[in-house]
Amino acid sequence: MFWPATILGVLLGFALAHIPGAILGAMLGQLVDRQLALHSWPQLRERLGGKPAMSQDELLFTLLGRLAKSNGQVGPEHIQQAREEMASLGLGDQAQRRAIEAFNRGRDGRASLRPYLRGLQRKPAAAEGLLRAGWRMIWADYRDHPVERELLLDWGRWMGWPARRVQALSDEYEPRRRPLARPDDHYQRALSLLGVAPGAQPDDVKRAYRRLLSKHHPDKLEGAGASAGQVEAATERTRQLHDAYALVRSRLGF
């Protein structure tokens, strides 16, 4: 793990007070690194310049924007997929505006993503959520472009995922691998998963979704002594809730 403030603290401390200064600088620098979640020089420059670090949602939509643009042109299906991701996360108006801004920054291709992705090496559930969203964006137009695939494999590698594991996630979203089913079957299963009746009002659906998401989100298990299997199960449950909510929301038009 790279600690920029720690390195800077050591250098400045040594320049001011030699070995004792370097030790004190290292201790203070590591405290700054941990408090601000710094993993690169660009992140340190951002924080020193008063720019807030990229949030998890902003990182997600920056990645999705980069993927959507990577093959040359952002299509309406990519825009719709981004909207569905926003809906599945239950983002409010202000959060949606930030997500749209992040998506557009991703399309520009200027944002440095590697430091943020490397910072997720110790957060496997968050990393998997980003990769799954990436595959959903890739398959939004029902085509798998090599440049998109390679980009996602690179991101997975930065997060500590071997290529075979990243590739395995694609199978759940690849159209030709999905079992055929009637649209109404999908909708009924989505309602059942959310625990709402067919005639439920939008507010009822939102409340049910947020309650279940809060209950099953894998982030609550990280650092709480949960096993890898429990985190994996919670991640899968969260994915199912995201997909179910996106489908019901699209069908009811809210």
Same domain, yes or no, for 160 and 99?
A: yes
Residue 36 is encoded by which pair of tokens? 């601000």
- Domain count for the chain, please give it: 3
Query: For position 216, what pLDDT does the model report?
Result: 75
pLDDT at 180: 42
Task: With a cut of 50, say whether residue 183 has pLDDT above it.
Answer: no
Can you give the pTM of this predicted structure? 0.56
166 and 69 in a common domain: yes
Kindly report, residue by residue over 85-133, the tens digit of the pLDDT: 888 787 788 888 999 999 998 998 877 788 888 888 888 888 999 999 9
- 75 and 169, same structural domain? yes
The pLDDT score that the predictor gives to residue 250 is 73
Range of the domain at 237: 183-252
230 pLDDT above the threshold of 90: no
Q: Tell me: do 72 and 154 sit in the same domain.
A: yes
Do residues 187 and 235 share a domain?
Answer: yes
Together in a domain, 106 and 133: yes
Q: How does pLDDT run across 58-79, given as a tens digit for each residue? A: 999 999 999 999 988 888 889 8
Claim to verify: residue 117 and residue 160 sit in the same structural domain: yes
**Percent of the chain beyond pLDDT 90?**
20
